[in-house]
Amino acid sequence: MPKRSDIHSVMVIGSGPIQIGQAAEFDYSGTQACRVLREEGIRVILVNSNPATIMTDPEMADATYIEPIDVPILEKIIAKERPDALLPTLGGQTALNAAMALGKAGVLDKYNVELIGASLEAIDRGEDRELFKKVVEEAGAESARSEIAHTMEEVDKCADDLGYPLVVRPSFTMGGLGSGIAHNPEELHRIAGAGLHYSPTSEVLLEEGIEGWKEFELELMRDRKDNVVVVCPIENVDPVGVHTGDSITVAPAFTLTDREYQKLRDIGIAIIRGVGVDTGGCNIQFAVNPKTGRIIVIEMNPRVSRSSALASKATGFPIAKIATKLALGYTLDEIQNDITKSTPASFEPTIDYVVTKVPRFAFEKFPGADTTLTTSMKSVGEAMALGGNFQESLGKAMRSIDKRHMSFSWDGDKPTPEETKQLLEAAHTPTEHRYQQLQRAIWGGATLEQIFDATKVDPWFIEQLIGINKTALDVRDAAELTPRLLKKAKQAGLSDLQIAHLRHLGDAGENVIREQRWKLGMHPVYKTVDTCAAEFDAATPYYYSCYADESELRPRKREAVIILGSGPNRIGQGIEFDYTCVHAVQELGKDYDTIMVNCNPETVSTDYDISDRLYFEPLTFEDVIEIYEAEKKMGPVKGVIVQLGGQTPLSLAARLKAAGVPILGTTPESIDLAENRELFGKVLAEKGLNAPRYGTALSLDEALDAAHSIGYPVLVRPSYVLGGRGMEIVYDDAQLKTYVNRALAEAKADTVVSGRLASPLLIDKFLSDAIEIDVDALFDGKELYIGGIMEHIEEAGVHSGDAACSLPPNTLSADQIRRLREATYAIADGVGVQGLINVQYAYMSNTLYVIEANPRASRTVPFASKATGTAIAKAAARIMAGETIQQQRDRGLLLAHGDGGDMRPGQPIAVKESVLPFKRFRTEAGKTVDVLLGPEMRSTGEVMGFDRDFPHAFAKSQLAAYEGGLPKSGNVFLSVNDTDKRHLPLIARRLQELGFDLYATEGSASVLRRYGIKSKIVDKIRGRMDTPTGSAPVTRAEGSVGKNVVQLIEEGKIDLILNTPNSRGSRADGYSIRAAAIAADVPQFTTITEFSAALLAIEAVKAGDYEVMSIQEHAKQLFDLEAKAAKAEAEQAAASTEGATEA
């Protein structure tokens, strides 16, 4: 069946900001969809609020709207663009829910827009718990015993009928949000209450507990002719009870019998038919009772899912690409397999290797959070590895996580029987450390039966862990490391570093082990991912390493550039760095063979047809140096780019250079000049630039001396970190002692001398009430090009990754911008940058301070690129390869005149806002973790608001980041600290003028009374309620409404909150207010500056509606303004010259 001829334009909805449960995999799938549609000659209209994505690049669609995914705005775009069809199945739950809302609002019918990929009815049958249960029954399969509830009263009745434990699953949510396993009524009320809140239809399914069963997933695709393929079976190593996104998963499935697998296939095919997905893909999850073989269908996603990206990368079968072609009317037998070039997509993939995915967590960012893994997803990223067997694949995946002490370790003494018992007890509760606990328990003598009883992990996987442990102990105890034993260790997934530790050689011994391997000629070989277990030749160079005999690398003729990616997504190093890597690949691929190295299955960079060669490998020194050595034999290598993937590749730069690898762009020596505090201080001094007073410390005494010399408050952080990891504002000696002692405890394994840290703490004077600015720039050794100057909306003290910011800056003067430009040039020149640099500044009392400089791509590069209409990362790649900024102007990658730091009349405003994952994390007492922002980054993603002025742009950013955006009317709660009380009357008066009613604490209400402003007084919460663990003693206020603000929030009577905490010591005050607001999705602000911006935004939206404009139109407008300004400058210069000549 050929492509449909009646579809000429298609709107694609993206997934919005990166969130837990919905991450970079949808940039990958959306990008594939846009590329397919354009190749088919179809006009593409893309809507996504996330600027840090490849799919929102202007080349990916004919009209790209970086706008909130909100029904009124989507309707504006549909009315303007008039698409024939809407494709919502590649943008995660966000796009699916948006399509449902557009359908229910009548927008699709009004503009005659057809839904393709899945019908509204199919989406409903797949997502609505009650309808899906009927589909499963009609397919002859079984669901868990369950009941549907829409209220807490119905929840209690279901619990009476079903008994405990109960699994709570909300409808239409992503990543298990609002789900959980309840063992008693208290847990049930907490979990089900959240589930009803987060479900758009206020619906939860309560089902019998099946904890401990084995869990599997199938990825299926179906076309209009009813051809169905099973792309990939995936097995969870953790049993049911841990969300599949938080479990280690493997492909193919290892512990199913052939009969069980065929039964899963039959059920899956019957369900995809029953739901009605006939032009796309779906993901179905199953539970299998390990004792009886009973199969239960857990749920399905009638769309491309997180697991679809994993299955695509695991098999080489491009699910999103094929789903898009199916939506256009093609059938599976008409679509060619890209990798073999000789088989159709109707051939099911077969793999002859093992794929393992390991999640990455960020609990360290959320002190007090319960680290137990449940059915609600908590991981922020994942790494995938391919190997010749499970042990090898698991070892590679664990070191790909790029987190110290997350691989298996045999350091220290063998666990005693008592310690082994404690390890088994700890492993009973699933956490991110479960498999490290099991490995040490096995070392301590735990049996397979004991481990199974504690965890219900299938015995086959336990046997593999026992095998890894045996090999490791053989390596440790052997008199000599023979070639045979060394190869066995590598095939068991042990790294050179692990082997060095087993041989008592320490970290430095890694080089010794590598040299020993190389003397023996023992290198990994590289195999091709071919979708067909080598039955057909693979045309696509997509490689993984293993310790086997035959390599499948092919010689090449062109000079190559190796680009190191950023590894698994994490807070502080996310999709923004993949964006810059992909841009480098796209641009350098015009003149070089591009070789991409990465281990993240969610990303565009690991799509097999983005680069000339893809290595799906860990980003460790051992793995990268092996790739470099292998590629040198295949053809010339110009060098390696480490500047674009964040801190992970940057940390390898010095070792790679020392090993003889040419580093393109900024040298490791220059990187050290910027990152070493003492060296950077000398650069600033030589250039006459100010920095906050600072010191460094390796011990508590040194830290106290530095703090006393600088003066409190101070900002304390470790050296060489990304995302503000471990950063804290410290106000006194007691807090500093707590910080340093915690750092010593965490670094115990890395500390050489007792009481001293392995690397120094950086201690800076904290700049209170300062304006913070980010500058992204390019430098070629002579010329500076400002990519963007971004002014933070919050004052200094909030990490730049969490702060909202505007471009162009919304309050800086021309003189202040000039000083920023001059300082950035001086720093780039002093450090010796060749490529990108990001500098963070603060203006305090109009004095410019340099906070830090990062000689690499920053997380703001995509935002600055979209806001200024220029390809900053592409230009950076060219500069790193030896070209100049002027050449990039000539190419059209950069503005022909001026740069992103110029301010032009009529220029639209872009506002970046961060998206925070607080609703995912609760304390062990079931309370939300504290949401107060500080110097350590905690956001997972970002959105962009783009409009004619700052108030409208800021309003859009809030609408994109938080469902419903800012309220236009209702009740506002005000509670500010003493420092901020002087700002309160103007804010309160304006709120009243806009029609809001005011509620305030007694102290804030007292200030308002003196200005003749009426407010309703609420009771103040004091004492233990202000911590994430306690109850709520209340102090009655005279003349109060008789309730505290938490009660009012929970009753739905508060629509907006301003709650600024005290700055000294008690910044945790008001925790309960912030927690209640998060639970109720009430917009809240903890700084006066951002609330003032919100006030302007509310006023602007009430006065006039948003404008929608594609970024292609924005770019044309910007370039026209630039050309107009350049022409005016030229005319002025000519007039000046003419006047001088006449004189």
CATH class as words, domain 145-209? alpha beta
Query: What is the model's pLDDT at position 799?
Result: 82
Terminal Cα distance for the chain, rounded: 79
What residues form the annotated binding site for Mg(2+)? 285, 299, 301, 840, 852, 854
Q: What angle do CA 70, 45, 303 make, to 5 degrees?
A: 70
Task: Write the DSSP symbol of residue 41.
Answer: T
- State the pLDDT at residue 1043: 86
- Show the low-confidence residues of the chain (pLDDT under 50): 723-724, 749-753, 1023-1032, 1064-1069
CATH 3.40.50.20 for domain 553-664: yes
9-116 is a CATH 3.40.50.20 domain: yes
- Structural contact between residues 245 and 377, judged by C-beta atoms closer than 8 angstroms: yes
Question: Which residue has 């609703």 as its token pair?
Answer: 919
DSSP characters over 132-145? HHHHHHHTT--PPS
Give the residue extent of every domain in the chain.
9-116, 145-209, 396-519, 553-664, 693-721+729-766, 933-1103
> What's the CA gap between 818 and 1130, in Å, rounded?
21
Token couple for 730: 């410290």
Residue 812, Cβ neighbours under 10 Å: how many? 19
**CA–CA separation, 796 vs 903, rounded Å?**
23
The full DSSP string for 785-805 is EEEEEEEEEEETTS-TTTS-E
The amino acid that residue 841 corresponds to is Y
Host H or E run for residue 814: helix 814-831
Return the pLDDT at 1143. Answer: 57
Ordered DSSP codes for 355-373: EEEEEE--GGGSTTB----
Can you tell me whether residue 832 is helix, strand or coil?
coil
**Mean pLDDT for the chain?**
89
Q: Which residues are annotated as a binding site?
A: 129, 169, 175-176, 208, 210, 215, 241-243, 285, 299, 301, 717, 765, 767, 772, 797-800, 840, 852, 854
Can you tell me the distance from the alpha carbon of 543 to that of 526, in angstroms, rounded to the nearest whole number?
6
Show binding-site residues for ATP.
Answer: 129, 169, 175-176, 208, 210, 215, 241-243, 285, 299, 717, 765, 767, 772, 797-800, 840, 852
pTM attached to this predicted model: 0.91
Superfamily, domain 933-1103: Methylglyoxal synthase-like domain (3.40.50.1380)
Feature table: binding site for Mn(2+): 285, 299, 301, 840, 852, 854
Rounded Cα gap, residues 1000 and 1003, in angstroms: 8
Domains 145-209 and 693-721+729-766 share a fold: yes
Q: Which residue has the tokens 């991450």?
A: 23
Class of domain 396-519: mainly alpha
Q: CATH number of 693-721+729-766: 3.30.1490.20, 3.40.50.300, 2.60.40.420, 3.30.70.2190?
A: 3.30.1490.20
Which structure tokens are listed for 448? Answer: 């397979």
Angstrom distance (rounded) from CA 931 to CA 367 = 11
Pairing state between β 847-854 and 909-915: unpaired
